[in-house]
Amino acid sequence: MPENQVILNVDDTEAVRYAKTHTLRVAGFKVEEAVNGAEALQKVAALQPSLVLLDVRMPDMSGIEVCRRIKVDFPTTMVLQVSASYISSADRVIGLESGADSYLAQPVEPAELIAAVRALLRIRSVEDQLRTVNQQLEDRVAERTRQLMEANQQLTHEIAEREKAQASLIQALKTEALGQLTGGIAHDFNNLLMIISSNLQLLGKRLGDDDRLRRYWAGAKEGTDRAVTLTQRLLTFARRQELKIESVGIPELLAGVRSLIERSVGPMNEVVVDVAPDVRLAAIDRNQLELALLNLSVNARDAMPDNGRLTIAARNARPPKGSSLADRDYVHLSVTDTGTGMDAQTLARATEPFFSTKAPEKGTGLGLAMVRGFLEQLGGGLVLTSARGEGTTAHLWLPVATTQQDAAEVTEPEAPAARPLSILFVDDEQLLVMVGADMLESNGHQVTPAGSGAEALELLQSKGRFDLLITDHAMPGMTGAELAEKARAISPEIRVVVASGFQDIPGEGDANWLRLRKPYLESDLIDLINQIYAR
């Protein structure tokens, strides 16, 4: 018999109790005794025996009541009731219904008592094994359920991440498609502005002193200049604008643009500039960053109808973990207002192109998209944080300049006028060819026009030497860069100017290969030619 199996023998008659205890101990059982019902209940609680041998008739509490209480508190304990007084079948039924597992009438033969005890303990052992197996099964089911719940949570998370990635991809594709469309429109618009601007420049030379005509001309020129600015914003959004990247000191830039920002936000709004003394130089396009700060300042002004405070701060920092930005040093420029703020839905769409909460006549929805496109083109980024009633902060992450040279602007000496040149002028827009030729010829140069790359190559092969090739870049059939390569294969000494509003033009960096941003002024074109031949 296992050592941990204890039998509690309960009987108020000492001789009978001794006889049963002696019989069981001789058979190898570990037996404890109790003389009445109260002591029996105490020892059951303390010893938790495997089986209770329980007399039915006791002076303080009947064995029937003791059995009921044992089965309530310790349902796995086996109870064998014995009685010399209650031995009828009705008595047996009452005992078994009280919860007893078996019932014996006294006097009982020792062999029968031992057999009955062993039978009940075997049942108890089997029940214990079943309970153990059931508990193991329940534990395994619980563990498997936990694993399935974790797998389901992981799957749910992956589905959410996939949906988020798909939404981001769809948005990126939409933005890319819109960017391509915007870039194409901006290119065509640039050509139209180039035609208008160039003709205005030529017309301005011949207006004379008529004040009214001068006023009309100035109005047309101002409108053209504003259209040029809008085109540059479109190109910035499309990330196709040519950027003039240089090392810029942020404290100096903010000092220079502060007065303009203060005028933009109005005298009732406070402007605070907080720049760390050790802030590093940033590799940026100065003009574009100034324009971005003005855009953000105007947005802040509109968000503070009851007046507030605009804070511009600059620090050296690394982007937070989980950011889409590269883990490297940046100049962190923040623009914070105390305005109305944005709810989560508006914040999620704030940098979408053409999305605006302003009235149609108050905004185009390109401001934040332009800032984001400009920063991403630089290798930085724009992050907005906002909450309704708590204002908005625009976080501008600016790439750090790789060399910390002096950021002060260097004024180049004016180049001397070039000698009269033989120039091949190429553009698929005939009006641009005409006005470009007029500009150049009015400055003493000889111009041969061409409407395509193929026509230009034929002229190079048939007419011989040209000093300079000026070509548009985005042309059907052959780009300006491709034309330049083929032209230099025919005439290695020819110098090249590629005119375009786009940024990425192959071949730039060659001493005889220069860029001219569209739309350009006559003075820009002539100055560039003079610089080429001043070398």
Taken as a whole, the chain contains a residue count of 535
CA distance to 99, 145, 430, 432, 507, per residue, from 452 (Å): 107, 72, 10, 12, 19
Contacts of 135 (CB under 8 A, 6+ apart): none
User: 235-258: per-residue pLDDT in tens?
Assistant: 555 544 556 788 999 999 999 888
> Is residue 375 very low, low, confident or very high in pLDDT (cuts 50, 70, 90)?
confident
The continuous run of DSSP H or E covering 25 comes out as helix 14-26
For residue 54, which of 88, 94, 14, 102 has the smallest C-alpha distance?
102
Return the minimum-mean-pLDDT range out of 11-15, 269-273, 471-475.
471-475
Read off the pLDDT of each residue in 35-41 and give the average, rounded to a whole number: 94
Confidence of residue 168 (pLDDT cuts 50, 70, 90): low
Output 364-368 pairs: Cβ under 8 A, ≥24 positions apart.
366/233, 366/234, 366/237, 367/295, 367/296, 367/298, 367/299, 368/295, 368/299, 368/394
Alpha carbon distance 390, 416 (integer Å): 57
247-399 CATH: 3.30.565.10
Which CATH fold would you assign to the domain 422-533? Rossmann fold (3.40.50)
Whether 370 and 394 have beta carbons less than 8 Å apart is answered as: no
Query: What burial class does residue 363 get, using C-beta atoms within 10 Å of its C-beta: 0-12 exposed, 13-18 middle, 19+ buried?
Result: middle
Question: Residue 107, preceding bond cis, omega within 30 degrees?
Answer: yes
Give residue limits of the domains in the chain. 6-108, 247-399, 422-533
Note the pLDDT tens digit of each residue in 208-237: 777 777 776 777 777 777 676 666 655 555
Report the topology of domain 6-108: Rossmann fold (3.40.50)
Say which residue, 430 or 198, is predicted with more confidence: 430
3-state SS, 183-236, equals HHHHHHHHHHHHHHHHHHHHHHCCCCCCHHHHHHHHHHHHHHHHHHHHHHHHHH
Residue 73: pLDDT band with limits 50, 70, 90: very high
The phi, psi pair for 347, rounded to 5°, reads -60, -40
Domains 6-108 and 422-533 share a fold: yes
In this predicted structure, which of 36-40, 325-329, 395-399 has the lowest mean pLDDT? 325-329
Residue type, 288: Q
Of the chain, the percentage scoring pLDDT greater than 70 comes to: 82
Residue 505 or residue 101, greater confidence: 101
Give yes or no for residue 473 having a pLDDT over 90. Answer: no
Check whether 64 has a pLDDT greater than 90: yes
Lowest-pLDDT range, 197-206, 411-420, 469-478?
Answer: 411-420
Q: Is the pLDDT of residue 453 over 60?
A: yes
Distance CA 208, CA 250 (A): 45
pLDDT of residue 358: 58
Burial of 159 (C-beta count, 10 Å sphere; 0-12/13-18/19+): exposed
More confident residue, 525 or 336: 336
> CA-to-CA distance for 369 and 352, rounded, in angstroms?
6
What 3-state class would DSSP assign to 137? helix
pLDDT averaged over every residue in the chain: 82
Tens digits of residue pLDDT in 132-146 = 888 999 999 999 999
Question: Residue 163: is its pLDDT beyond 60?
Answer: yes
Q: Are strands 392-399 and 330-337 parallel, antiparallel or unpaired?
A: antiparallel
Least confident of 14-18, 313-317, 400-404: 400-404
With a cut of 90, say whether residue 39 has pLDDT above it.
yes
Residues whose CB is less than 8 angstroms from the CB of residue 274 and which lie 6 or more positions away in sequence, other chains included: 311, 312, 313, 314
Q: Which of 177-181, 313-317, 466-470 has the lowest mean pLDDT?
A: 177-181
SS3 (DSSP) at 532: helix
Reported confidence tier of residue 102, pLDDT bands at 50, 70, 90:
very high
Write the burial class of residue 226 (CB in 10 Å: 0-12 exposed, 13-18 middle, 19+ buried): exposed
Residue 309, pLDDT above cutoff 70: yes
Looking at residue 457, its pLDDT comes to 92
> Is the per-residue pLDDT at 30 higher than 90?
yes
Strands 446-450, 422-426: pairing is: parallel
Pairing of strands 51-55, 78-83: parallel
Environment class of residue 435 by beta-carbon count within 10 Å: exposed (0-12), middle (13-18) or buried (19+)? buried
Q: What is the mean pLDDT of residues 43-62?
A: 92
Gyration radius of the chain over CA positions: 47
Paired residues of 316 in beta bridges: 331
* Rounded mean pLDDT, 487-516: 75
pLDDT at residue 365 is higher than 50: no
> What's the Cα-to-Cα distance from 362 to each of 230, 358, 365, 388, rounded to whole Å?
15, 6, 9, 21
Structural contact between residues 67 and 100, judged by C-beta atoms closer than 8 angstroms: yes
Q: How many Å apart are CA 335 and CA 246, to the nearest integer?
A: 22
Q: Which residues contact 21 (CB under 8 A, 6 or more apart)?
A: 9, 31, 33
Residue 169's pLDDT band, with cuts at 50, 70 and 90, is low
Q: What is the mean pLDDT of residues 169-198?
A: 64
Q: Strand 282-285 relative to strand 245-248: parallel, antiparallel, unpaired?
A: antiparallel
Question: Are 266 and 310 contacting, i.e. CB atoms less than 8 angstroms apart?
Answer: no
Q: Please, which residues have CB within 8 angstroms of residue 144's CB and are 6 or more apart in sequence?
A: none
Closest CA to 99 of 75, 127, 126, 128: 75
First to last CA, the chain: 111
Cα(44)–Cα(394) distance, integer angstroms: 74
In this prediction, residues 81-95 reach a mean pLDDT of: 86
The two three-digit tokens of residue 167, written as one number: 């939404």
Lowest mean pLDDT of 203-207, 312-316, 327-331, 334-338, name the range. 203-207
Tens digits of residue pLDDT in 395-424: 999 999 886 544 444 444 455 566 889 999
Q: Which of 118-127, 201-210, 264-273 has the lowest mean pLDDT?
A: 201-210
Model pLDDT, residue 49: 94
What local confidence, expressed as pLDDT, does residue 409 receive? 41
Q: What is the pLDDT of residue 405?
A: 46
0.75 exceeded by pTM: no
